[in-house]
Amino acid sequence: MTFSHLDDKGQAKMVDVGEKQISRRTATARSIVLLPAEVLEQLTGGDIQTKKGSVFQTAIIAGIMAAKKTGDLIPLCHPLGLDNCDINIHLNDRQEIVIDCTATITAKTGVEMEALVGASIAALTVYDMCKAMSHDIVIRETKLMEKTGGKRDFKRA
């Protein structure tokens, strides 16, 4: 197995995408946040209102801002000008907060990291805005759900 971000001497490198073809690329990542009952009780009308404001709307804005800054946060990521970034937050049937971040670009490189960063920061923002009610909040997972464009597509079953 070879790592794309290491040269033949094992030194870190940015992947050269100069010869790659421009294509439409999309990635969706998901973060799951578990809120304790006392925080979930505050959920009304599809959101939680705190003294800081709307939890989900603030998390959406934070996630979009973070996705746009991925190249500044992850050392070997290419700085990308996203065509679109969309974040959806909802409560599933297991009473978990589900955060889906979809990033899209027409470029020579994919947007998986942008989607993962967007979902992660949105989840951390939910934590930050709800921690006054409880510190028993768990960000259970963040994972890539789907990507299209580039060499190969991926879809989690």
- Answer yes or no: 128 catalytic: yes
Which helix (H) or strand (E) segment holds residue 49: the answer is strand 47-50
**Does residue 133 sit in helix, strand or coil?**
coil
Catalytic residue among 47, 83, 86, 128: 128
Q: Give the alpha-carbon dihedral of 28, 31, 32, 35, to 10 degrees.
A: -140
Determine the distance from the C-alpha atom of residue 42 to the mean position of all C-alpha atoms in its chain, rounded to a whole number. Answer: 24
Looking at the DSSP bridge assignments, the partners of residue 49 are 54
Residues with Cβ < 8 Å from 13, sequence gap 6 or more? Answer: 5, 6, 7, 76
Asked if 100 contacts 88 with a C-beta cutoff of 8 angstroms, the reply is yes
Which residues are the active-site residues?
128
